[in-house]
Structure 1
Amino acid sequence: MLKAFHPLPKLALCLAWIAGSLLIFQLWFQVTLFCAASALLLLDARIPPRRLLVLMIPFVLFGFGFFTTSVLFRAESGFAVQMAQEQGGTPAVAPGLVLFFRVLACGMTSAVFALTTDPGQFVRALMQHLRLPAAMGFALMQAMHMVPDLRGEMLQLRMARAIRLGRPLRRIPTPAEAVALAIPLLAYAIRRATRAALAFEARGLHPNRKRSQLPQPPITRSDWVLLSVGSLLLLAMTAMPLITAT
């Protein structure tokens, strides 16, 4: 379902949920958003649980300070207390715990978009619907293809180096090996950049010039339905504290 969702409505919906997470200082909202995003990645995007746990590590480390200060040491940082006061946090819930789950909720929501969206389709949608300049769009696509290609080139260089030295390939390169690979990788990047520049020139990527576009998938009725359902759920969860208070 998410992979068939048009990139632009999906981006708008994910940004709306992230904005809701940043504005609503409630533990139940952060936990609900985190669990919902994780469930979508597991059940809809078919992300393996192990990979999902590895994906959470940077966000856990980022918010771990708030968690340990609030839960383990029973103290609160001045930043967490100020955030709770400014955003209407309840004194019954530790502000650091809310900030910890906020980091996880925003991280998993961004992962939902990143792991279920084809980068090329997203850039082409930006060019067609939001009038992204063609030069910028093709530069983004070149950068997105450059990173995995650079990784593959580095692996080939390491394999060739291991064969020449007659030793098995190490899982993690040593500092000496990393320094030895710097110049070949730099030369490879320069060659790729030169080819990209020639391709840009051949495509005629000049500003203020009319260009034809390959047919792209339009925003369908199902996309609008998913966007509406997600927006209504966000509005309902936002209004729930007001309803319970009255």
Structure 2
Amino acid sequence: MQTFYHQTSSLLHRLNPLSKILATVPALLFVALTTDPWVPLAFLGLTTITILIAGQIPLTRFIRIVGPLLLLTLSFLLLSPLMVREELMSHSPVFFQLGPLTVYQAGVLYGLSLALRIAAILLLSVLFTFTTDPADFIRALVQQWKVPYKIGYSALAAFRFVPMLQNNLRIIQAAHKIRGISHKRGPRAWYDQVRRYLIPLLSIAIRQAERTALAMDGRAFGSMSTRTYYKQYCFASRDYLFIASYWLICLLLVLIIWRVGLLGQLVFLQTM
């Protein structure tokens, strides 16, 4: 989340973090239970528009973050037709045949549906991480969903270690470059770089963890059953309006797909 988060003052950024979970989780579960390619494709379009317009995420950053994730789904499209048993697909027309390798049309459609479904789930998750500060999310969990604050603030402290270690890694790399340490290519050079970076990063992480623990002890963290908060979280009218609007748009998309006869069966119905 710390890596994906893009800070701006968009509508999605001003919402309560929990409202975005309540809005997207039902859609995510429905996409996970569908087998046709049309529902994931529709949710891919809806989520992309929501991120770019309501979230005001720059197109270049969206492509840089989401592009590699979506490319991973191509592996499901390529491998799924080869992993399905032939007797289950033998009734389908042959898509192509290369020597002993036979790929059926039904297997290709299954792989396409699986790839689109995974891509839609990833994009729905990215909608939340693009527009939600991890610190705000944890504070909202502690205040509204009664997560023990000892667990919440421990996770918040762990989140802060990620950018700290990234910054320290850049400093160590710059120091090595100033001292004339060459950065060669190849497995041996990669192993040497990891070994040079590992010990300084480990010592910095241990030192930072000790300082964090001392700071928490100095503030009597965990001594009280309750605590006060500088920033209060609650559901405002805009949060309820966003949840209702998102659910309504998702329902309209599903109804349109169903009316034109493209809505496939659910997975649990197929297994009955």
Common fold by TM > 0.5: yes
Instruction: Select which of 214, 219, 227 maps to 2:243.
Output: 227
Report deviation, 1:41.
2.4
Report deviation, 1:52.
2.4
Deviation sequence 1:144-192 (CA, Å, 0-9, x none): 111011010111111112112277x899984322211111100000011
Tell me the distance in 1 between the aligned counterparts of 2:17 and 2:233.
Answer: 10
Instruction: Select which of 108, 126, 139 maps to 2:123.
Output: 108
Deviation sequence 1:11-45 (CA, Å, 0-9, x none): 12121211111112221211111122122222333
Q: Does 1:78 align with 2:84?
A: yes
Report which of the two has the higher share of helix: 1
Shift in CA distance, 146/41, structure 1 to aligned 2, threshold 3 Å: same
User: TM-score, normalising length from structure 1?
Assistant: 0.81
Shift in CA distance, 103/207, structure 1 to aligned 2, threshold 3 Å: farther
Structure 2 residue identity aligned to 1:182: L
Q: Does 1:31 align with 2:41?
A: yes
* Other-structure match for 1:64: 74
Instruction: Select which of 4, 22, 25 maps to 1:12.
Output: 22
Structure 2 residue identity aligned to 1:62: L
User: TM-score, normalising length from structure 2?
Assistant: 0.74
Tell me the distance in 2 between the aligned counterparts of 1:69 and 1:177.
Answer: 34
Instruction: Select which of 206, 214, 218 maps to 1:190.
Output: 206
Shift in CA distance, 217/237, structure 1 to aligned 2, threshold 3 Å: same
Instruction: Select which of 161, 186, 190 maps to 1:146.
Output: 161
Moved more, 38-47 or 181-190: 38-47
Tell me the distance in 2 between the aligned counterparts of 1:97 and 1:200.
Answer: 50
Structure 2 residue identity aligned to 1:8: L
* Other-structure match for 1:88: none
Aligned sequence identity (%): 26
Q: Tell me if structure 2 keeps the 8 A contact 1:76–1:95.
A: no
Shift in CA distance, 171/47, structure 1 to aligned 2, threshold 3 Å: farther
Q: Aligned pairs, how many?
A: 231
Q: Does 1:162 align with 2:177?
A: yes
Which of 1 and 2 has higher RCO (CA within 8 Å, sep 6+)? 2
Structure 1 residue identity aligned to 2:201: L
Shift in CA distance, 166/28, structure 1 to aligned 2, threshold 3 Å: closer
Structure 2 residue identity aligned to 1:220: A
SS in 1 for 2:14: coil
Tell me the distance in 1 between the aligned counterparts of 2:144 and 2:131.
Answer: 20
Q: Tell me if structure 1 keeps the 8 A contact 2:141–2:147.
A: yes
SS in 1 for 2:70: helix
Q: Tell me if structure 1 keeps the 8 A contact 2:144–2:233.
A: no
Tell me the distance in 1 between the aligned counterparts of 2:108 and 2:260.
Answer: 17
SS in 2 for 1:224: helix
Structure 2 residue identity aligned to 1:202: G
Query: Which consecutive residues of structure 1, in runs of 5 or more, have no partner in the other structure?
Result: 83-90
Shift in CA distance, 241/37, structure 1 to aligned 2, threshold 3 Å: closer
Q: Tell me if structure 2 keeps the 8 A contact 1:134–1:205.
A: no
Tell me the distance in 2 between the aligned counterparts of 1:170 and 1:34.
Answer: 41
Tell me the distance in 2 between the aligned counterparts of 1:45 and 1:232.
Answer: 19
Tell me the distance in 1 between the aligned counterparts of 2:259 and 2:199.
Answer: 63
Query: Which consecutive residues of structure 2, in runs of 5 or more, have no partner in the other structure?
Result: 1-10, 90-105, 262-272
Report deviation, 1:139.
1.1
SS in 1 for 2:230: coil
Shift in CA distance, 69/178, structure 1 to aligned 2, threshold 3 Å: closer
Tell me the distance in 2 between the aligned counterparts of 1:177 and 1:65.
Answer: 30
Moved more, 225-234 or 120-129: 225-234
Tell me the distance in 1 between the aligned counterparts of 2:255 and 2:14.
Answer: 30
SS in 2 for 1:209: coil
